Amino acid sequence: MSRRQSISRSVTWNAENRNANRRILRHQFTNSAGEQIDNIEDSVRLLFVVEGTNDIEFLRRISVMLHAENSRLPNLAEMERHGELIFVPFGGGHVRAWAERLAPLARPEFHLYDHELPPETELRQQAAAAVNQRSQCQAVLTKKRCLENYLHSDAIFAAGDIHVQFDDFDCVAELTARELYRQRPGEIAWQLQARRSQSRMANRAKRWLNTKAVEQMTPAMLAEQDSDGEITSWMLAINELLES
What DSSP assignment string belongs to 142-198? -SSSSGGGGS-HHHHHHHHS------TTS-HHHHHHHHHHHTSTTPPPGGGS-HHHH
Q: Which residues have CB under 8 Å from 27's CB, separation 6+?
A: 40
Distance CA 11, CA 17 (A): 10
Q: What is the pTM of this model?
A: 0.85
Residue 159 has pLDDT above 80, yes or no: yes
Give tens-digit pLDDT for 182-218.
988 777 888 899 999 999 999 999 999 999 999 999 9
Residue 13 has pLDDT above 50, yes or no: no
Neighbours of 34 (CB within 10 A): 7
Is residue 87 within 8 Å of residue 58, measured between CB atoms? no
Give tens-digit pLDDT for 19-35.
555 565 554 455 555 55
State residue 11's pLDDT score.
Answer: 43
| pLDDT band for position 108 (cuts 50, 70, 90) | very high
CA distances 116 to 10, 71, 166, 181, Å, are 33, 31, 15, 25
- The residue among 17 and 134 whose pLDDT is bigger is 134
Is residue 117 within 8 Å of residue 150, measured between CB atoms? no
- What is the percent of the chain where pLDDT is above 70? 82
State residue 167's pLDDT score.
Answer: 98
State residue 146's pLDDT score.
Answer: 96
| pLDDT band for position 94 (cuts 50, 70, 90) | confident
**Residue 122, CB-side half-sphere exposure with 13 Å CA sphere:** 2
Give tens-digit pLDDT for 52-88.
999 999 999 999 999 999 999 999 999 999 999 999 9
